[in-house]
Chain A
Amino acid sequence: GAGVSQTPSNKVTEKGKYVELRCDPISGHTALYWYRQSLGQGPEFLIYFQGTGAADDSGLPNDRFFAVRPEGSVSTLKIQRTERGDSAVYLCASSLGPAGQGYGYTFGSGTRLTVV
């Protein structure tokens, strides 16, 4: 597609439930990133994929969070046993190459997750 698409745009879930957030990157972008943004804060790095593999998952806060990108395109962020503190906007971005080489990111509009 023309841009990065994230679905759903909004998700309300009960505490303890499992959720999946989907990201469709720009076609041909090999690098894909997940960030989490809380109110009044900048995006917080979660995980970076280069192709199908997670090149850096050091930002995942704990083992309830997991992400996959099985075919090197669409990615899914999975959160188990959701907690109220997981409520945030989850942003996905893609790029032609890694940020360290000066490539700019294109972000989706995010999924607003609310855990009640």
Chain B
Amino acid sequence: TQLLEQSPQFLSIQEGENLTVYCNSSSVFSSLQWYRQEPGEGPVLLVTVVTGGEVKKLKRLTFQFGDARKDSSLHITAAQPGDTGLYLCAGNNNDMRFGAGTRLTVKP
């Protein structure tokens, strides 16, 4: 059983579309991180959110931490083929536990 549930598990869209992926838990976290992983590589940190309700933007990516610090969302505007990858959320207390990820494919 995953501590963090990510949805959808798979997402395939056309270039230029917008999308949102979700990360949900029944646990409260002191912080939450999003990572992107490509085949054959380790996950790469995208963002850390710490405060409930916090919103962070990274170019076309918008990350939100839920008010109760139990959930988070990642919104991508005008997706590009280079956004293709596995998006992982990780909840932090004394250590970090990952969700199973959303595998995103952006078709040209």
Contact = CB atoms under 8 A, between A and B. Distances in A.
Nearest 3 interchain pairs by C-beta: A107-B42, A42-B98, A99-B92
B42 A4 contact: yes
A42 B30 contact: no
Interface of A: 4, 33, 35, 40-45, 48, 55-56, 91, 93, 98-102, 104-110
B96 A102 contact: no
Interface residues of B, number: 26
Contact of B96 (A33, A40, A106, A108): A33
B30 to A, nearest CB: 5
A112 B42 CA distance: 11
Given A42-B99, A108-B42, A110-B42, A98 B94 contact: yes
B40 to A, nearest CB: 7
Nearest to A3: B42
Interface string B61-86: 00000000000000000000000000
